[in-house]
Structure 1
Amino acid sequence: MTVSPESTTEQELLDFLHSRTKKVWQEDADLFASGGLSSLFAMEIVVHLEKRYGVSVRGKDLRLDNFRTVRSMASLVRRLQGAYGDAGE
């Protein structure tokens, strides 16, 4: 079985969250509504995404909705990576 890049991103983010919070998360769980994350931890997630995936999260991308779930964070990463790929062409 081949693992898609999408599922790899989601799994890495789930592993990161688990290592930092000691909780098991689902891809579509609302991380903020559950009381699991603080605004300070949200900034830690931004730094993690930037370092781990080589993206820059700025301006309009710093909306809470982009960080509400693992699925939304993975989507943001893929979109930003695509934007960088397009800019280099």
Structure 2
Amino acid sequence: MRLDKYLKVSRIIKRRTVAKEACENGRVIINGKVAKPSTDIKEGDIIEIQYATKTLKARILNIAEHVRKDDAKAMYEILVGEEDTDEEE
């Protein structure tokens, strides 16, 4: 699955366009490397997102095309950062 789509489906970032912009601006890192929106992600990858004042680091646990809002948090495990991921930039 594409990185920008995963960020939206998992609700780490609310909108795919915002996820795409974050990737294009170099604020999303996958396994230590800056990632493009089209980067393929897989289970076990570590995502790091740099917001203005904080960093969110999470491990991908599950990849699914469609998920209910209640099940979205089961797609990843927060390693560093806030539990509230519904922030917009």
TM-score (norm 2): 0.27
Structure with the higher helix share, 1 or 2: 1
The structure that has the greater radius of gyration is 1
Structure with the higher strand share, 1 or 2: 2
